[in-house]
Amino acid sequence: DTVLTQSPALAVSPGERVTISCRASESVSTGMHWYQQKPGQQPKLLIYGASNLESGVPARFSGSGSGTDFTLTIDPVEADDTATYFCQQSWNDPTFGGGTKLELK
Amino acid sequence: EVQLVESGGGLVQPGASLKLSCVASGFTFSDYWMSWVRQTPGKTMEWIGDIKYDGSYTNYAPSLKNRFTISRDNAKSTLYLQMSNVRSEDTATYYCTRGYGSYDYWGQGVMVTVSS
């Protein structure tokens, strides 16, 4: 299995820029996707193919990376962005990262 | 509006079988690959498997392949997950998702609890 590693949690202030990282145990090319999950809700696709913004998602969200290192950036962060963010790769059998819980100060 | 509505979850005893359903609406179901993903109480996400738009091909997580079966009825716009010989570690919220690779729509999820 391709293991995806994320930092467990981050805390930022509204208006700041935040980067959430995801490292793959092997290259996944650009087969990386990002989801936002708020408490009690299903995940929502934000970024697909490493850097493509899903329709309807604010341009404050962006993704970058290829190979093994990927980043989701939110700039600027808003209060409504409080959520857990998951990366997921599809280069091999799909696997998910453990999620990064984003809290606002 | 795209909607995916799962059903069929609940409390089930170890070793039993269970079949989940997902009714799709708001899009042409037969045009899309569909997948099942589950999330444990500890929030770990796990891909279960997917099925081609015409039902001719399925792919499963190797650890689940022998116990879980995905099928679909395009005439009913419904996706299924047949679970057999369930174990306590199958306790999770099960999501029906649209897509292959990335998943652009998710159902609200259905809870399955395996316990005696």
B103–A45 C-beta distance less than 8 A:
yes
Q: Within chain B, how many helices (H) and strands (E) appear?
A: 0, 11
Ramachandran angles phi, psi of A21, nearest 5°: -105, 155
Asked whether B20 and B80 are in contact (CB, 8 A), the reply is yes
How distant is the Cα of A32 from the closest Cα of chain B, in angstroms? 8
Closest CA to A87 of B4, B29, B45: B45
Tell me which residues of chain B, numbers 62 to 91, contact chain A at a CB-CB cutoff of 8 Å: 62
Q: pLDDT at position B49, please?
A: 98
A95 token code pair = 């696997």
DSSP labels, B5-26: EEE--EEE-TT--EEEEEEEES
* Banded pLDDT at A63 (limits 50, 70, 90): very high
Q: Which residues of A touch B109 (CB under 8 A)?
A: 42
Asked whether B58 and B65 are in contact (CB, 8 A), the reply is no
Q: pLDDT at position A23, please?
A: 98
Q: What angle do CA B78, B40, A50 make, to 5 degrees?
A: 75
Q: What is the pLDDT of residues B41-72, one digit of tens each?
A: 999 999 999 999 999 999 999 999 999 999 99
Q: Which residues have C-beta within 8 Å of that of residue B31, sequence separation ≥ 6? A: B53
Q: What is the dihedral of CA B14, B15, B16, B22, to 10 degrees?
A: 80
A93–B47 C-beta distance less than 8 A:
yes
**B47 → closest Cβ in A35, A54, A95:** A95
Q: What is the pLDDT of residues A14-32, one digit of tens each?
A: 999 999 999 999 999 999 9
Asked whether B91 and B115 are in contact (CB, 8 A), the reply is yes
Distance CA A99, CA B98 (A): 21
**pLDDT per residue of chain B (116 residues) written in tens, 0 to 9:** 999 999 999 999 999 999 999 999 999 999 999 999 999 999 999 999 999 999 999 999 999 999 999 999 999 999 999 999 999 999 999 999 999 999 999 999 999 999 99
Q: Which residue of A has its CA nearest to B5?
A: A42
Share the mean pLDDT of chain A. Answer: 97
How distant is the Cα of B43 from the closest Cα of chain A, in angstroms? 8
